Amino acid sequence: MLEAVIFDVDGTLSDTERHGHLPAFNAAFAAHGLDIVWTPDEYGHLLTITGGRRRIAADLRARGFAATADDLAVAIHRTKTQLFLDRVLAGGVAPRPGVIELVTELLEAGVRTAVATTGSRAWVDPLLHHIVGDGVMEVVVTGDDVQQLKPHPEVYLAALQRLGVSARSAMAVEDSAVGLQAACAAGLTTVVVTNDYTVRQDFPGAAAVLSRFDGRERLGADRCRELHHHGSAAALS
């Protein structure tokens, strides 16, 4: 039986990357006097490096900042986090169409909801407050709560543990190949809902790959139950 659905945040609950995180990273580079501007295309490639601080450090290393890359990345990421938080607090982040309806249906059907994200606690909690409301996501595990970021399954395993449910009784909703890898490695049946950045990725092992939550393909509570049922059956065979 489906007891809980665990959602990714960036790209899944909200289309945060292109118009949210990317401008915050670029403004942070400028604030630290660096002449670095990530284009939307470059950022799309950099998204395979999970975690903003690691993403900055990898790019700085590639640009020859070998010795100082890690320390500089910590400082730039702190600034970026504040800038993105400002955007969230100003109401500049919206849920993807259909997300609120899905979460509401799940809760009405007695299915618990949770979050497993690589993002930072400082902005994740306020973002959830703005887009779904407080307490709607019963468990929220962020990148600050784990040692290893996606594609490692730790964030999903921690969410399952805090929910007190087995992987077989839950499913994940993700937007990216890296996120799918993490959820599958935790043993979860996973539905992928793609966005502009992830639509051309491969999704081996996904229970379904959709391009949106609403419209003809609509992902509702019944469809989640169905996909979970088939996913669990496939895992047993």
Residues of the shown chain interacting with Mg ion in the complex, contacts defined by CB under 5 A: 8, 10-11, 175-176, 179
Backbone angles phi, psi at 115, to 5 degrees: -130, 140
The CA-atom distances, in angstroms, between 110 and each of 3, 221, 230 are 8, 10, 20
179 binds ligand XBP (CB under 6 A): yes
Residue span binding ligand XBP (CB under 6 A) among the ranges 34-42, 173-181, 195-203, 210-218: 173-181
The H-assigned helical ranges of the chain are 22-31, 40-46, 52-62, 69-89, 99-108, 121-131, 154-163, 177-185, 221-236
20 binds ligand XBP (CB under 6 A): no
Cβ of residue 179: shortest distance to Mg ion, in angstroms? Answer: 5
10 belongs to the catalytic site: yes
190 binds ligand XBP (CB under 6 A): no
98 binds ligand XBP (CB under 6 A): no
SS3 for 121-141, per residue? HHHHHHHHHHHCCCCCCCEEE
8 binds ligand XBP (CB under 6 A): yes
Size of the site for ligand XBP (CB under 6 A): 20
Nearer to ligand XBP, 118 or 194 (CB): 118
Cβ of residue 79: shortest distance to ligand XBP, in angstroms? Answer: 11
DSSP character at residue 8: -
Residue (of 230, 224, 232, 233) closest to 5 by Cα position: 224
Backbone angles phi, psi at 109, to 5 degrees: -85, 5
Distance of CA 167 to the CA centre of its chain: 18
Residue nearest to Mg ion (CB): 11
> Cis link prior to 151 (omega < 30° from 0)?
yes
151 binds ligand XBP (CB under 6 A): no
Choosing among ligand XBP, Mg ion, none, which partner's interface includes residue 14 (Cβ < 5 to 8 Å by kind)?
none
Position among 14, 26, 113, 117 found at the interface with ligand XBP (CB under 6 A) = 117
Position among 50, 190, 195, 232 found at the interface with ligand XBP (CB under 6 A) = 50
Which of 10, 15, 59, 175 is labelled catalytic? 10
By the 8 A CB rule, do 224 and 208 touch? no
Choosing among ligand XBP, Mg ion, none, which partner's interface includes residue 168 (Cβ < 5 to 8 Å by kind)?
none
Cβ of residue 118: shortest distance to ligand XBP, in angstroms? Answer: 3
- If 0-12 CB within 10 Å is exposed, 13-18 middle and 19+ buried, where does residue 63 land? exposed
35 belongs to the catalytic site: no
- The residues annotated with a catalytic role in the active site are 8, 10
- Residue numbers at the binding site for ligand XBP (CB under 6 A): 8-11, 17, 21, 50-52, 80-81, 117-120, 143, 150, 176, 178-179
